[in-house]
């Protein structure tokens, strides 16, 4: 006898003590309850949002210095794009959730992330300088 059936019988016994049930009703009741308990337990096991410790460890290793490995297909790239993930029927958020990657972690190899942030800083500096220059040039043209 499986656990669901045992539990269902216990519930049926409790039910039978509070209301009058004939044999058929009791059997039907037990069958229904056992099936429901089973499907609840099985849907719990199939929880897709919970990455296993193994998956998380694999995901952590997938973002390397010069490449990122797509955990879905094992392909090596510099950046895992949304376009690539669409082939697997998911977006970056779903991918990160599935593999237990923090949502603020970019799916980009480490050196590109660093390069990008230095380039951003350089660009901001350049923009500041450039806009000042433009103003000065503008002043010149006005005075000329
Ligand atoms: Zn892939």
How far is ligand 1, taken at its centre, from the CA of residue 92, in Å? Answer: 11
Residues of the chain falling short of pLDDT 70: 1, 44-49, 135, 137-144
How far is ligand 1, taken at its centre, from the CA of residue 114, in Å? Answer: 23
Domains identified in the chain and CATH numbers:
3-45 (no CATH), 53-99 (1.10.10)
Confidence at residue 142, expressed as pLDDT on a 0 to 100 scale: 53
How far is ligand 1, taken at its centre, from the CA of residue 52, in Å? Answer: 19
Confidence at residue 42, expressed as pLDDT on a 0 to 100 scale: 78
Provide the 3-class DSSP secondary structure of residue 77: strand
- Are 68 and 80 spatial neighbours (Cβ–Cβ below 8 Å)? yes
**Number of Cβ within a 10 Å radius of residue 90:** 15
Tens of pLDDT along 9-22?
A: 998 888 888 888 89
Q: Is 24 exposed, middle or buried (0-12, 13-18, 19+ CB in 10 A)?
A: exposed
Can you give the pTM of this predicted structure?
0.54
Provide the 3-class DSSP secondary structure of residue 42: helix
How far is ligand 1, taken at its centre, from the CA of residue 19, in Å? Answer: 58
């Amino acid at each position: 006898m499986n656990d669901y059936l045992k539990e269902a019988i216990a519930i049926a016994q409790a039910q039978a003590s509070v209301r009058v049930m004939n044999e058929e009703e009791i059997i039907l009741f037990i069958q229904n309850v056992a099936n429901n308990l089973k499907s609840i337990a099985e849907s719990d096991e199939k929880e897709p949002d919970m990455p296993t410790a193994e998956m998380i460890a694999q995901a952590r290793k997938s973002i390397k210095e010069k490449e990122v490995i797509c955990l879905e297909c094992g392909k090596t790239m510099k950046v895992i794009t949304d376009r690539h993930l669409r082939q697997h029927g998911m977006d970056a958020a779903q991918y990160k959730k599935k593999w237990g990657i923090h949502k603020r972690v970019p799916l980009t190899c480490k050196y590109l992330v660093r390069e990008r942030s230095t380039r951003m800083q350089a660009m901001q500096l350049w923009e500041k300088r450039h806009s000042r220059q433009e103003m000065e040039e503008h002043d010149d043209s006005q005075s000329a």
